[in-house]
């Protein structure tokens, strides 16, 4: 953690021995602070006196904790009513403060779900976010791929709709999904709403693990259709049952009697750790997800596992069963999490049967994921080192890890919807949570120099005002003109121009032929296509370009959607709003018939025809 340069209030002398002797034997949270008042570490304890004293009375700490103890200048504590509340407070403080010596996991609050909407003809959809809206939610799933694979299964077997409501409400004939037997087309009445609702209920039961009951139901309906000589319907049900049976046979890691289970395995290698989380819901193995904690230094797998459980399951629901490897030193961690969520979870450390197979697979996936990450990390660290050496930056290990690079790019379409992007590279990887987009206004359309001046002024005025720090390197996508604009901005603010580097494109904009231009007058560099340093610069520059152009396209699309209707003679803001509200958006308006358009208040038949023709280029 970087030291804070702002003046700190004077602290009274801190006598460690007196402080430790006065600590209560009560549950609570403690915070180790350095001489500047920065929080180094946050922890919880069932007995504050015993736990805090152990840091200063024991030897044999991990390197991470030993480094931390050597820097501790004072300790602060907060007593809590229970150890469960101490766990909650500890993790809130870790997420807020991100202490330098805590094992940290990225805060992944948003897991994907599969959602059946609350409509009369429910829509099946991929969903992220709060699960309080109407409908039925299944999950969470470990990743988007697992959700989409499940949706494909349900489309194939139960033929559920996935279309947007605005499309569903305005169909006059079935779409392609009906033709390829992936939807039963309730939109145009090819299946009754009652029959479609029954299919949704069967899909719901399938996702809840009631697979055999669903198969028996389909078989009984098939037999009844055959007895009634409805052979076409019987054949459709036969195909449905065959598809479902085939899918179940492919689920080699399935246990229909298993409770919802999470399998957590930890693997350490090369000074790094990987936590692999596999999810089983309603007996189906949905896949897994790898987590890579930061600030692991000499810690064992149990330390990493306990940190993961504490941080992950305070924002995610506990399953009925939790299978872990390695075994926990203190299984009460799971009891505390159960108390915090008011639900019971069974902890398994020596599973048998299919759960043993799940755990072995999770361990193998943790090993493979960490191996890939180490290979990629080694390559990225080598690139960071190469760039630092080429530009004369501090190349020691700690400085390289903290090295912060910001890169700027401008994007627009012939001057329309101009946006600037700022992406950040630090800790040997891109940091998407720190990316920023800037809407550029008040300039001549297409003036890239003015756009660059505006974004740099807005970004680095915060450095002058003390709200931010100057990065170690600022990359500007462009040639001498953009670099000169950047130099002028930095000179006006009194900032160090030596950190400014322009990335001028080579012939035909081919990667590897870029030239690095320096604002402080140094000779330009052409590193060549095999340079590791240039590979890193190109990676950061390309990410800035991608981030800028996606933001510009979204802004342009929004602007065009808002204005497209108003460009039609006779459509003002009020009529546009009514049309969009009636048909659920611009797409629904574009697909509506003249008769449907004319049902909107204030839209005559002649105006409806004009709208209809405008969207078809007539």
| Full 3-state SS string of 535-593 | HHHHHHHHHHHHHHHHHHHHHHHHHHHHHHHHCCCCCCHHHHHHHHHHHCCHHHHHHCC
**The pLDDT value given to residue 128:** 83
Q: How far apart are CA 161 and CA 125, in angstroms?
A: 9
**The pLDDT value given to residue 364:** 92
**The pLDDT value given to residue 329:** 87
pLDDT in tens, 488-524: 999 999 999 999 999 998 765 566 678 999 999 899 9
Q: How far apart are CA 427 and CA 404, in angstroms?
A: 8
Does the pLDDT value for residue 558 go beyond 70?
A: no
**The pLDDT value given to residue 157:** 82
User: Chain-wide mean pLDDT for the chain?
Assistant: 83
**The pLDDT value given to residue 555:** 59
* Cβ contact 77:52 at 8 Å: yes
pLDDT in tens, 321-332: 999 999 998 888
* Number of Cα atoms under 13 Å in the Cβ half of residue 19: 16
Query: Which of 47-51, 131-135, 228-232, 610-614 is modeled with the greatest confidence?
Result: 47-51
**The pLDDT value given to residue 107:** 61
Q: Which residues contact 340 (CB under 8 A, 6 or more apart)?
A: 84, 87, 88, 314
* Alpha helix stretches (DSSP H) within 395-469: 397-402, 448-464
**The pLDDT value given to residue 359:** 92
pLDDT in tens, 467-492: 889 999 999 998 999 999 999 999 99
**The pLDDT value given to residue 96:** 84
Q: Which residues contact 136 (CB under 8 A, 6 or more apart)?
A: 115, 116, 122, 204
Nearest Cα neighbor of 337 from 311, 355, 359, 304 is 311
**The pLDDT value given to residue 1:** 38
Does the pLDDT value for residue 560 go beyond 70?
A: no
Does the pLDDT value for residue 307 go beyond 80?
A: yes
Q: How far apart are CA 6 and CA 253, in angstroms?
A: 57
* Cβ contact 405:424 at 8 Å: yes
Name the pTM for this structure.
Answer: 0.63
* Cβ contact 411:554 at 8 Å: no
Mean pLDDT across 425-437? 90
Domains of the chain (ranges plus CATH)? 16-97 (3.40.1440.10), 261-372 (3.30.420.340), 404-556 (3.30.420.340), 567-615 (1.10.150.20)
Nearest Cα neighbor of 587 from 162, 168, 121 is 168
Confidence grade of residue 415 (pLDDT, cut at 50, 70, 90): low
455: three-class secondary structure by DSSP: helix
Encode burial over 234-254: b for 16+ CB neighbours within 10 A, e otherwise. Answer: bebbbebbeebeebeeeeeeb
């Amino acid at each position: 953690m970087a030291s804070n340069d702002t003046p700190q209030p004077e602290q009274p002398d801190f006598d460690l021995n007196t402080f430790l002797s006065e600590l209560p034997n009560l549950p609570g949270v403690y915070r180790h602070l350095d001489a500047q008042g920065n929080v180094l570490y946050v922890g919880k304890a069932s007995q504050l006196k015993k736990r805090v004293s152990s840091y200063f009375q024991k030897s044999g700490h991990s390197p991470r904790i030993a480094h931390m103890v050597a820097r501790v200048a004072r300790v602060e504590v907060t007593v809590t009513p229970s150890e469960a509340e101490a766990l909650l407070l500890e993790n809130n403080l870790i997420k807020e403060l991100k202490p330098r010596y805590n094992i940290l996991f990225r805060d992944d609050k948003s897991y994907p779900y599969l959602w059946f909407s609350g409509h009369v003809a429910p829509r099946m959809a991929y969903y992220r976010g709060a699960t309080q809206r109407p409908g039925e939610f299944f999950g969470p799933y470990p990743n988007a791929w697992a959700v989409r694979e499940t949706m494909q299964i349900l489309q194939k077997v139960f033929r559920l709709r996935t279309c947007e409501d605005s499309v569903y409400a305005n169909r006059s004939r079935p779409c392609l999904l009906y033709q390829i037997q992936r939807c039963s087309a309730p939109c145009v009445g090819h299946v009754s709403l009652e029959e479609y609702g029954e299919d949704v209920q069967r899909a719901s039961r399938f996702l809840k693990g009631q697979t055999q009951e669903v198969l028996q139901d389909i078989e009984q309906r098939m037999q009844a259709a055959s007895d009634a000589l409805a052979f076409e319907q019987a054949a459709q049900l036969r195909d449905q049952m065959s598809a479902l049976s085939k899918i179940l046979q492919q689920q080699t890691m399935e246990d229909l009697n298993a409770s919802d289970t999470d399998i957590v395995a930890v693997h350490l290698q090369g000074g790094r750790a990987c936590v692999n989380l596999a999810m089983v819901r309603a007996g189906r193995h949905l896949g897994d997800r790898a987590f890579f904690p930061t600030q692991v230094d000499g810690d064992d797998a149990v330390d990493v596992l306990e940190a993961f459980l504490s941080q992950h399951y305070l924002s995610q629901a506990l399953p009925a069963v939790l299978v872990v490897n390695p075994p926990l030193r203190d299984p009460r961690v799971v009891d505390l999490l159960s108390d915090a969520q008011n639900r019971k979870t069974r902890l398994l450390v020596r599973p048998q049967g299919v759960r043993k197979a799940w755990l072995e697979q999770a361990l193998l996936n943790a090993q493979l994921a960490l191996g890939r990450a180490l290979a990629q990390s080694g390559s990225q660290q080598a690139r960071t080192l190469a760039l630092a050496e080429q530009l004369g930056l501090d190349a020691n290990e700690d400085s390289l890890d903290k090295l912060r690079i910001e890169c700027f790019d401008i994007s627009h379409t012939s001057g329309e919807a101009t946006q600037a992007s700022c992406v950040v590279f630090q800790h040997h990887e891109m940091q998407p949570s720190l990316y920023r987009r800037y809407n550029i206004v008040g300039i001549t359309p297409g003036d890239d120099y003015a756009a660059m001046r505006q974004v740099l002024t807005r970004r680095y005025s915060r450095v002058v005002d003390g709200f931010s720090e100057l990065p170690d390197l600022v990359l500007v996508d462009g040639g001498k003109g953009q670099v000169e604009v950047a130099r002028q901005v930095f000179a006006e603010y009194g900032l160090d121009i030596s950190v400014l580097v322009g990335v001028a494109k080579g012939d035909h904009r081919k990667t590897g032929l870029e030239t690095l231009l320096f604002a402080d007058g140094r000779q330009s560099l052409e590193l060549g296509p095999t340079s590791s340093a240039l590979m890193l610069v190109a990676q950061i520059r390309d990410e800035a370009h991608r981030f800028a152009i996606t933001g510009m396209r979204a802004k342009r699309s929004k602007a065009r959607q808002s204005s497209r209707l108003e460009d039609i003679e006779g459509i003002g803001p009020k009529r546009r709003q009514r049309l969009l509200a009636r048909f659920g958006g611009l797409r629904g308006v574009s697909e509506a018939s003249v008769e449907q358009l004319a049902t909107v208040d204030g839209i005559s038949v002649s105006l409806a025809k004009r709208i209809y023709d405008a969207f078809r280029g007539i």
